[in-house]
Structure 1
Amino acid sequence: MTPDQVRGRLWAVVPAAGRGTRFGGEVPKQYLAVGGEPLIAHTLTALCAHPKVDGVVVVLAEADAHWPGWQAIAGKPVVTCVGGSERADSVLAGLAALPDSVRADDFVLVHDAARPNLHPADIDRLLEYGRNDPVGAILAAPLRDTLKRAGDDGGIDGTEPRERLWRAFTPQLFRRLQLSRALEAARDAGVAVTDEAMAMERQGLRPLLIEGREDNLKVTTAADLALLEFLLGSR
C-alpha cells in the first residue's frame, strides 16, 4: 500500500449555506459570476483538481435555488447536504454526510466556498505537515500591517504588537471524529466558533500554522470580487 492509502481517503467539506450578508445583493456571493463561472465553481475545481482529494461535500442552505446540481467535478464525486444557521452547524452536517469510506481518524479538509484562488502547492504543504501532526494544521499568514486600537470616538488609543499574530485561512485540516467532537462541544457550550481551529483550541489542542499564499483571498466585498477576477485571469 502507498503512504496515502495507509492514511485513508481525503475528502473536503465546503460550507456554502451562508447568505453573504456583508456583501449584499440578492444572490449569495458564492454564486456570483467570476470569469463566466459561479465563484463556487472555481473553489470546487481547485479542490477536485488536486490529486490527493478524493471528493467534496458541499453544505447548502435549505431550498437553495442557485446550486447548479453538480454531482462530479474533475472526475471527483460532489455530495451535497443541508447546513445550519451557523458555520459550525454546517461543517458538522458536512462531516456527517461524508461517505463511510472516510474513517473516524481520517483527515478532512474544510475550505471556505468564497476562497476560490487556492493553489495546489498550498494544499501540498498543508497535507505534508498537517497529516504528520497529532492535531492537524491550518493555512495562515503572519500579520504584516501595523495594528491600531481604536477609541470610542474613532481616535487611535494605541498601537498593538503584531508579533506572533497570524491571519487564519482555509483549508483547515483535522481528523473527522476529533473535529466533530470539538464542534459539538463548542455548540453545547453556546460558543459560536469562527473557524474549525478555534473549536480544536477550546479542547486544549494546538494545530499547526502553515504559511500559505497571501492571494488565498476570501471574497467579502465587491472590491474583493474585482481582485479575484484579476487573480484568476492571471493564473
Structure 2
Amino acid sequence: MELFNSRDRVHISAVDIDDEAHGTVEYDMGGAVVHVHVDGEQGGGIRQFPHDAKPIPRKLVHLVTDMADECGACTAELAEDDAEDDAEDDAEDDAEDEELTLSEALAADGVTLTSEHIATGTDAEGWQHHEYRVTIAFDGRTYTQTVQHGIVNEEAPKLVETVGMLVRQSMTAYAADCYEDWASDFGGPDPANWMPEKTYTDNVQMAKDLRALFGADRFERYAMADHDD
C-alpha cells in the first residue's frame, strides 16, 4: 500500500467533482481514503485546518512526481491503472463509501454511551463547567474518558456529540507529523500561541485508544461523517 506524507502534492483521477483535480495531502492513516485539500475547494492548495481536508478513495489518488503531472492530465499509465481495478475492490469501495451521518453510523454499529456526573468546578481561566465520566461501548469493548460541559448546559453528554467530539479532536493530533505541525495548525506560527504539548500527546493517546475500540477504518469514518445531532 502506498502511504502519502503530509503536504504531498497529488493528482486525483476522479472524484465527486466535475473533473480530475490536484490537491495537497493533509494526512493518510492507511485506511480506505486519503485526506486531501482539493485545489479550488475549502482548504485546497493551502495547509489550513485538518478537518477541511476531503476524504478521497485511495485508488484515485496518485503522487505527483514531476511538474508535468501538475500541469496536465494524468499519464496514460495512470488511466490504465484505474481501468484495471477489479470488480471486487469496486464493490468493497462502494459499500465503504456509502454516506451515513454520524448518528446513523453509530446506531447501525450498536455503539452506546453511559455517563456519570462527577464534579462541578471552575478552571484557571474562570470557565465554570460540569465534569462527566463517559463510557463508550462497542462490540464488547469499552473506553472511558472525562468530558466537560459549560455550566449553563445541564444536559448529560449525548452519544453523537460526545463520539463526534472525541474522534475529531483526537484524529487531528494523531494525523499530524509532530507536535509543532499540530500546534501551528491551530495557534499559528508563533509558539507563544500554541497549546501545551501535553494536550497533543493526550489526544494522540486518545486516538490510539479509540482506534483500538472501533477499529481504524470505523474510527476514520466516524471522524469524517456529517455531525447531524
Q: TM-score, normalised by structure 2?
A: 0.21
Give the structure with higher Rg (CA).
2
Report 1 or 2 for greater relative contact order, CA contacts < 8 Å, sequence distance ≥ 6: 1
Greater helix content:
2
